[in-house]
């Protein structure tokens, strides 16, 4: 009896320690975000003098100012356009290429595939200088394309890698029977394989959306026009302009972080699945 009790209490202790630790990590993950969101409603002096305090009055002027004068409305629109365009291109082209690499045995399959893998490892800094002058020569600098095309170019490598793995895992007999039915390759892709690969495509879509939305370096280097800046670049210029007002900066950060977090919270199941499949399959 005594033995059983102590066993139970030690079990309890383990459980307390475990949940305590999990709660601590939860606090670590959430506190900075919450602090920023509350700070957005405070004035500069309030933040300076009392960083922890709740705002005395909910001063939403910071947010309005950031949205209008900080031009976050424009940045927001740009981020949406650039992210969506890139992701659509990546998903489409990677699915096509992944289908070919994963289901067919053709001359050059392996070498071309490995060649594309180099792109997966390449840091943007390794090609940014050359890319800059290329875009300048073809007149695409300072357009949405200056972000979309290179970003898609870098990410198709990852996408192809991931889609190839997925197509490899599909039964090949399906393709065989489609072929017997007289389908062309494109037909069999559109009517049979693509619908089967939908989960992977959705995962890739989500993975890429988060990735491109957060991207900073390419747009920072290649787009100077204020009216074309995405939200990440806008944010750093905004910080450069209003360094003397923490409340305004926190408002900018809030606007920059809020949308993706909300979308994430609403669609978290898809996100988590997308990330896991995106990374694991890739």
Residues numbered 3-22 forming contacts with other proteins, rule: CB under 8 A: 18-19, 21-22
Q: Whose Cβ is closer to other proteins: residue 2's or residue 57's?
A: 57
In the complex, the smallest distance separating the C-beta of residue 248 from other proteins, rounded to whole angstroms, is 8
Residues between 220 and 249 that touch other proteins (CB under 8 A): 221, 224-226, 231-232, 235-237, 239-246, 248-249
Helix H, strand E, coil C: the string for the chain is CHHHHHHHHHHHHHHHHHHHHHHHHHHHHHHHHHHHHHHCCCCHHHHHHCCCCCCCCCCCHHHHHHHHCCCHHHHHHHHHHHHHHHHHHHHHHHHHHHHHHHHCCCCCHHHHHHHHHHHHHCCHHHCHHHHHHHHHHCCCCCCCHHHHHHHHHHHHHHHHHHHHHHHHHCCCHHHHHHHHCCCCHHHHHHHHHHHHCHHHHHHHHHHHHHHHHHCCHHHHHHCCCHHHCCHHHHHHHHHHHCCCCHHHHHHHHHHHHHHHHHHHHHCHHHHHHHHHHHHHHC
Applying CB under 8 A, which of residues 4, 28, 57, 111 lies at the interface with other proteins? 28
Q: How far is the CB of 258 from other proteins (least distance, A)?
A: 10
Q: Name the residue nearer to other proteins (CB basis): 1 or 121.
A: 121
87 binds other proteins (CB under 8 A): no
Q: How far is the CB of 3 from other proteins (least distance, A)?
A: 19
For residue 167, state whether it binds other proteins (rule: CB under 8 A).
Answer: no
For other proteins, the binding residue among 9, 10, 26, 73 (CB under 8 A) is 26
Interacting positions 100-119 with other proteins (CB under 8 A): 100-101, 103-106, 112, 116, 118-119
Q: Is 191 in the site for other proteins (CB under 8 A)?
A: no
Asked if residue 142 binds other proteins (CB under 8 A), the reply is yes
Smallest gap from Cβ 200 to other proteins, in A, equals 15
Q: CA of 240: how far to CAs of 70, 79, 244, 246, 249, in Å?
A: 11, 20, 9, 12, 10
**Residue 69 sits in the site that holds other proteins (CB under 8 A):** yes
**201 binds other proteins, rule: CB under 8 A:** no
Count of residues of this chain found to bind other proteins when the rule CB under 8 A is applied: 114
Backbone angles phi, psi at 125, to 5 degrees: -65, -20
Q: What are phi and psi of 115, to 5 degrees?
A: -60, -40
> Is 136 one of the binding residues for other proteins (CB under 8 A)?
yes
Contact flag: residue 253 with other proteins (CB under 8 A)? yes
**133 contributes a contact to other proteins by CB under 8 A:** yes
For other proteins, which is the closer residue by CB, 1 or 57? Answer: 57
By CB under 8 A, is residue 75 in contact with other proteins? no
Calpha distance 89→96 (Å, rounded): 11
């Amino acid at each position: 009896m005594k033995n059983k009790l102590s066993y139970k209490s030690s079990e309890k202790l383990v459980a307390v320690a475990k949940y305590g630790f999990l709660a601590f990590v939860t606090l670590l993950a959430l506190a900075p975000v919450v602090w920023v969101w509350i700070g957005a409603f405070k004035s500069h002096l309030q933040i300076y003098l009392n960083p922890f305090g709740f705002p005395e009055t909910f001063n939403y002027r910071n947010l309005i100012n950031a949205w209008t004068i900080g031009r976050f409305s424009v940045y927001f629109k740009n981020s949406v356009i650039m992210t969506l365009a890139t992701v659509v291109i990546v998903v489409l082209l990677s699915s096509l290429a992944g289908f070919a690499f994963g289901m067919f045995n053709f001359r050059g399959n392996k070498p071309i595939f490995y060649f594309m893998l180099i792109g997966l490892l390449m840091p943007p800094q390794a090609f940014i200088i050359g890319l800059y002058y290329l875009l300048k020569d073809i007149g695409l600098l300072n357009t949405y394309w200056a972000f979309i095309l290179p970003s898609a170019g870098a990410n198709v490598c990852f996408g192809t890698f991931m889609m190839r793995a997925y197509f490899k895992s599909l039964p090949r007999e399906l393709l065989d029977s489609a072929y017997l039915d007289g389908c062309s390759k494109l037909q069999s892709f559109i009517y049979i394989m693509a619908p089967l690969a939908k989960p992977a495509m959705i995962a890739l879509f989500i993975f890429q959306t988060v990735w491109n939305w957060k991207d900073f370096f390419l747009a920072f280097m290649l787009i100077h026009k204020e009216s074309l800046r995405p939200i990440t670049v806008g944010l750093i210029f905004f910080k450069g302009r209003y360094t003397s007002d923490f409340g305004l900066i926190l408002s900018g950060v809030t606007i920059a972080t809020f949308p993706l977090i909300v979308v994430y919270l609403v669609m978290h199941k898809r996100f988590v699945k997308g990330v896991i499949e995106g990374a694991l399959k890739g």
